[in-house]
Structure 1
Amino acid sequence: MPLTPETTKVLLIDDHQLTRSLLRGLLKNEGYHQFREAADAPSGLKIATHFSPDLVCLDVQMPGKTGLDMLAELREAVPHAVILMVTAQNDRDTVVACINAGAHGYIVKPFNALTIIKVIEGALAKRGLLAAPAAGAPARK
């Protein structure tokens, strides 16, 4: 069954509270309301197992286990989830490593609200998870 922002379960895994708060605020403005958050990889994996998110925004660089190190475990725990990597690193090697490890996309800090929403909606749509916009809904630019 296709998801809408209201029905999409979102897990934010980032060691920076400000980053989680910014992402949550941007997504709330777009109608997303079901959130869980974690500040590290072990907590994120535990929450993912119980919450079964549809969308995971995963920081690449965290203390202890990195997001890239955690990606395979997360994909095994919640294989249906769309996983987007979040980082300030915009180098080609990091992007390629994340995509090759199974990430569905990439969000670069500092955040641009429209870009983030387009990346999230594009990744969900590519997996066939996003419902079509309601008739008469304004198109994104």
Structure 2
Amino acid sequence: MPTVLVVDDALFMRASVGNMFREWGFEVIGEASDGREAVELYKEFQPDLVTMDLTMPVMSGFDALKEIIQQFPNANVIMITALGQQRVIVDALEAGAKDFIAKPFEALQLKAVVQNVLGSYEM
């Protein structure tokens, strides 16, 4: 069973994204509400996949991404952004994010991005 870490400062987003992954057969090994917490949980669990909100308190998703990729170059991180943050997305992809999705999004959109990142895993 693949594992996922869900990172978003909004409890509603963490709950809804987490529920999507559970329906797809993932184990949600953790949830983080800021980038610092995300880095610590990644180090502890090294999940197969991370969904990372871009704009969060304490440490941004972009800074958390850079720190995770620096220590774990093969980490699979999907950035989640609000519309209109395209410049930051280019930076995030250059920093090692595997893909991104813009809020608001449908479950099928996220599923397609996850399949693109993880490859052949059946969902």
TM-score (norm 2): 0.90
Tell me the equivalent position of 2:9.
15
Percent identity between the aligned chains? 31
SS at match of 2:96: coil
Tell me the equivalent position of 2:115.
121
Residue identity opposite 2:10 in structure 1: H
Higher Cα Rg, which structure: 1
Mapped partners of 2:82, 2:71: distance in 1: 26
- Is the 2:98–2:117 contact (alpha carbons within 8 Å) kept by the matching residues of 1? yes
Q: Does 1:80 align with 2:80?
A: no
- Is the 2:21–2:28 contact (alpha carbons within 8 Å) kept by the matching residues of 1? no
Q: In the superposition, relative to structure 1, how do residues 91 and 50 fare at CA in structure 2: closer, same or farther (>3 Å)?
A: closer
Task: Summarize deviations over 1:12-64 as a string: whole Å, max 9, x none.
Answer: 11111111111011111111124211111111111111111110111100013
Q: Extract unaligned runs of 5+ from structure 1.
A: 1-6, 134-139
Q: Extract unaligned runs of 5+ from structure 2.
A: none
How many residues align structurally?
A: 123
Tell me the equivalent position of 2:43.
49
Tell me the equivalent position of 1:71.
65
Mapped partners of 1:73, 1:39: distance in 2: 16
Q: What is the RMSD computed on CA atoms of the aligned residues?
A: 1.7
TM-score (norm 1): 0.79
Task: Summarize deviations over 1:48-85 as a string: whole Å, max 9, x none.
Answer: 11111110111100013211122111113333321000
SS at match of 2:29: strand
Residue identity opposite 1:13 in structure 2: V
Q: Looking at secondary structure, tell me which structure has more helix per residue.
A: 2
- Is the 1:60–1:86 contact (alpha carbons within 8 Å) kept by the matching residues of 2? yes
Residue identity opposite 1:57 in structure 2: T
- Is the 1:60–1:66 contact (alpha carbons within 8 Å) kept by the matching residues of 2? yes
Tell me the equivalent position of 2:102.
108
Q: In the superposition, relative to structure 1, how do residues 118 and 44 fare at CA in structure 2: closer, same or farther (>3 Å)?
A: same
